[in-house]
Amino acid sequence: MPELKPVYLIHGDDHGAIAERRARLRALAEADGDASSVEFLEGEQGTPAGVAMALCAMTMAMGRRVIVVDGIERWKPTEVERDLLGALAQMPPETTLAMFAREEGRSKAPPALHKAVTKAGGQVVQEATIKPWELPKWVRQQAAGMGLQLDMAAAKALVGQVGERQQRLLRELEKLSLEVSAPGDGSDGGSRPSEGSQIPTRIGVEEVEGRVARSSERRAFSLADALVGADAQAATRIYLSLRQQGERLPGLSYLMASRLREALDVSLRLQAGESVADVKRGLRMPPRAAERFVADVQRSEPERLRASLAALADLEVDTRGGDPVSADRSRLSGLDEDTLALRVIEAIAA
């Protein structure tokens, strides 16, 4: 197992990259078997005071102890300075503290924490999104590292079709790269595929438009439709897929809430006696999609849809970087954002 530093602070607004770093750290620690243990601090344990208490606590585990904490962007600077800085200055041996801050707007890891991590011999890593106007150039650089040649027009088409999420762009480039290296490639370096090859190494606008997935908005609406239809398995699967490709929770929450509000409106109109045909005509979606949507709404009740919107409202408060919803109002307070979202999805689709 590579030697871990005593402290890590991984922060930034590229939430997908942060999630990947967290997963790699966990896999690295768990791969060492009995030589290390991994702990996850949530709720009250995930506060500056809770982390300090965990660092001071005795443990019977053998080998390196790895402590993972999410939600650092919600910590208050005064609490960090009062409760945690002293503990960071005296990190116990064979211990690694990994802190993750998924920053958004004003919700950021406290500045004092940056200095304390560096002073304790740790590492601060920023995962920042690329500015929109710099993405085509970045896409071409990433593609070159995968053996693909994208001209600027193709790179712009990829960004326009997939969106500005770097993780999604990388996934699409990886798919293209796999097709290039598939058996029977035989590309002759030109812009047209040779016999038996799937796509050329040089990729233009036509290849991008023909092969790359469209914007994730349709899949996000599929997530919302699964919630309306109370299909917890499908909703969970779609959510995890969207997060893996770099979609941010605030955007997904907005689309889910929009769809549920539309479902509540349809439910109330049907309850008031409006015909199914009239309701379908008023929906801005293809006829078959409208038919499925109304059928899902008919199997639900307005009370359930209102409760679902309330749960999403609590989720938004808990993941926007403000003070978490108090425990007496929400059993979900204090957890990391993916745990919060998955529990809300489970509650809505129950």
Say what percent of the chain tops pLDDT 70: 81
The C-alpha atoms of residue 280 and residue 282 are separated, in whole angstroms, by 5
Q: Is residue 325 very low, low, confident or very high in pLDDT (cuts 50, 70, 90)?
A: very low
What is the fold, at CATH topology level, of the domain defined by 132-211? Answer: Helicase, Ruva Protein; domain 3 (1.10.8)
| Residue 216 scores a pLDDT above 90 | no
Position 220: which residue type? A
What is the CATH code for 217-348? 1.20.272.10
- Which of 68-72, 73-77, 202-206 has the weakest average pLDDT? 202-206
- pLDDT: which is higher, 58 or 302: 302
Q: Is residue 20 very low, low, confident or very high in pLDDT (cuts 50, 70, 90)?
A: confident
51-60, 153-162, 295-304: which is most confident? 295-304
Class of the CATH domain delimited by 7-126 = alpha beta
Predicted confidence (pLDDT) per residue in 218-227, tens digit: 567 788 888 8
| Residue 330 scores a pLDDT above 70 | no
- Which of 4-8, 283-287, 306-310, 311-315 has the weakest average pLDDT? 283-287
Q: Is residue 187 very low, low, confident or very high in pLDDT (cuts 50, 70, 90)?
A: very low
Domain limits, the chain:
7-126, 132-211, 217-348
Fold match, 7-126 / 217-348: no
**Token pair listed for 296:** 């899902």
Q: What is the pLDDT of residue 33?
A: 58
3-state SS of the chain? CCCCCCEEEEEECCHHHHHHHHHHHHHHHHCCHHHEEEEEECHHHHCHHHHHHHHHCCCCCCCEEEEEEECHHHCCHHHHHHHHHHHHHCCCCCEEEEEEEECECCECCCHHHHHHHHHCCCEEEECCCCCHHHHHHHHHHHHHHCCCEECHHHHHHHHHHHCCCHHHHHHHHHHHHHHHCCCCCCCCCCCCCCCCCCCCCEECHHHHHHHCCCCCHHHHHHHHHHHHCCCHHHHHHHHHHHHHCCCCHHHHHHHHHHHHHHHHHHHHHHHCCCCHHHHHHCCCCCHHHHHHHHHHHHCCCHHHHHHHHHHHHHHHHHHCCCCCCCCCCCCCCCCCHHHHHHHHHHHHCC
Return all residues near 281 (Cβ < 8 A) that are at least 6 apart. none
Q: What is the pLDDT of residue 210?
A: 67
Predicted confidence (pLDDT) per residue in 92-132, tens digit: 988 999 999 999 888 899 999 999 999 999 999 998 888 88
The predicted model gives 323-332 an average pLDDT of 47
Q: Is residue 266 very low, low, confident or very high in pLDDT (cuts 50, 70, 90)?
A: very high
- pLDDT: which is higher, 144 or 62: 144
Say what percent of the chain tops pLDDT 90: 29
- pLDDT: which is higher, 162 or 306: 306
Predicted confidence (pLDDT) per residue in 193-203, tens digit: 444 444 547 88
